[in-house]
Amino acid sequence: MLAAMSDSINGLLPDSLAIHADRAANETDAVVPPIWQTSTFWADSDESFLEKATTPGCDHFYTRTGNPNQTQAAMVVAALEGAEAAVVAGSGMGAITSTILAFAGAGDHVVAQQNLYAGTTSFLSGLATKLGIETTFVDQRDPARIEAAIRPSTRLIVLESPSNPLLRITDLQAVSGIARSRGIVTVADNTFATPVNQRPIEFGIDLVMHSATKYLGGHSDLIAGAVAGTRAYVDRVARVMSETGAILGPFEAWLLLRGMRSLPVRMERHNRNGLAVAQFLTGRAEVAAVHYPGLDEHPQRELAGEQMSGFGGMVSAEFRGGLAAAARFVNSVRLARRAPSLGGVETLVTHPAAMWAKTLEPAQMAEMGIVPGLVRMSIGLEDARDIVADFEQALELVAAAGE
Ligand SMILES: Cc1ncc(COP(=O)(O)O)c(C=O)c1O
């Protein structure tokens, strides 16, 4: 379940690590690690049983506390993020909630971004408050606001950059500096960027988390999460995961490992296609604003360039015609499909105001900047010309309707 970087892969570059970082955890001669589809492992003596039971992260005892497929996937995540250790989770929400619960309890305070994945916002403002954890949400574009929200009881700062769905950027270095000097733990959701484009640990962030359902898995065929950081911090998170059961099954861990092999190559295309679509949308009269950190027009383009090496496949656009125009666009695309989630090989579009209507209060959505005319696009690996052609015909229908 837990994994540290192995000596045998020291010195490899990230693209190679995606393919080989888990080698030391495959004790068979199969080039592709087999699936350890077992809930439990036998021991040949009382001593060996006890040793396995009391070794943290032992992956040959009971699959809720460890399994070789979890270890292998975690090793690749750790290597890609440049972290000492990582742990995989049953979902991105399993990763984020386990991290929050590992570092905050009753009476503790959390500072979180206002523009944040809605599931994280919902947990912090709902279940977490029932457990006595209070959160202050602030506009993360200004680190001074994060600093101002800190109290003596603040234990954790929850970040996400670029953020879902508005692609806002957080100054990771500035926030980690503010937190470090006060002994506050920082966690950054790196789902949108992926470690190919951004490694928050290099900017002093303590823990990086992922919805591995998205780019890490990359094929829209599994639900998974991951957290990377120092061994000591990851152990704390892993313990919560094991106690709450937020762990990843062996088959999903195997699928995640397979997906990550091609992450660097996929991201090259996502980066190219994301930029091509963002540039195309920028020139369209039906679109009032395009949010993509790689665009020169993005208000935080400079900061994005300092902490990201590519800008990913997530683009969001605000339609001039508001709700009606956004709905017509989403209803009119033919190649792209209307579906939640992101980061897969296929282009997906969603209408966040409709998607989150039952989870977030209208005021919360407004505070987060989710306007009715916003459409979020996960640009896939198709030929960019096909995606642009599809979006163009949908925009023509929006224009024809006078929206
Ligand atoms: C940025 C981000 N973080 C976390 C999550 C939650 O991940 P999961 O759905 O795998 O639980 C999502 C899901 O969309 C996400 O987009």
- pLDDT tens for the 403 residues of the chain, in order: 444 445 567 789 999 999 999 999 998 999 999 999 999 999 999 999 999 999 988 999 999 999 999 999 999 999 999 999 999 999 999 999 999 999 999 999 999 999 999 999 999 999 999 999 999 999 999 999 999 999 999 999 999 999 999 999 999 999 999 999 999 999 999 999 999 999 999 999 999 999 999 999 999 999 999 999 999 999 999 999 999 999 999 999 999 999 999 999 999 999 999 999 999 999 899 999 999 999 999 999 999 999 999 999 999 999 999 999 999 999 999 999 999 999 999 999 999 888 878 777 888 888 878 899 999 999 999 999 999 999 999 999 999 998 8
44 C-alpha to ligand 1 centroid (Å)? 41
> Which entry of 62, 64, 180, 272 is annotated as an active-site residue?
64
211 C-alpha to ligand 1 centroid (Å)? 5
pLDDT, position 5: 46
- Is 189 annotated in the active site? yes
Omega before 34 within 30 of 0, i.e. cis: no
| Residues near ligand 1 (Cβ within 6 A) | 91-93, 117, 119, 160, 164, 189, 191-192, 211, 213, 223, 225
Helix axes 118-125, 92-103, angle to 10 degrees: 40
* For the CA of 214, the nearest atom of ligand 1: 10
- Is 52 annotated in the active site? no
120 C-alpha to ligand 1 centroid (Å)? 8
> Which entry of 117, 215, 233, 292 is annotated as an active-site residue?
117
Query: What is the dihedral sign for C-alpha 123, 229, 182, 159?
Result: negative
* For the CA of 213, the nearest atom of ligand 1: 10
> Which entry of 22, 59, 189, 390 is annotated as an active-site residue?
189
Please provide the CATH number assigned to the domain covering 3-261: 3.40.640.10
- State in words which class domain 263-400 has: alpha beta
H or E, element range at 396: helix 384-400
How far lies 115's CA from each of 146, 316, 321, in Å? 13, 13, 23
Per the CB < 8 A criterion, the answer to whether 312 and 197 are in contact is yes
* For the CA of 160, the nearest atom of ligand 1: 1
pLDDT, position 2: 46
Q: Where in the chain is the domain with CATH 3.90.1150.10?
A: 263-400
pLDDT, position 343: 98
- Closest protein CA for atom 12 of ligand 1: 211
Alpha helices in 214-311 (DSSP H): 231-244, 250-261, 263-282, 301-307
- Ligand 1: which of 113, 191, 215 to mutate, most ligand atoms within 8 Å of CB? 191
- Is 296 annotated in the active site? no
Q: How many CB atoms lie within 10 A of CB 250?
A: 19
Sheet with 374-378, strands from edge to edge, namely 287-291, 314-319, 374-378, 348-350, 337-338
123 C-alpha to ligand 1 centroid (Å)? 12
Could you tell me the pTM of the whole model? 0.96
- Is 235 annotated in the active site? no
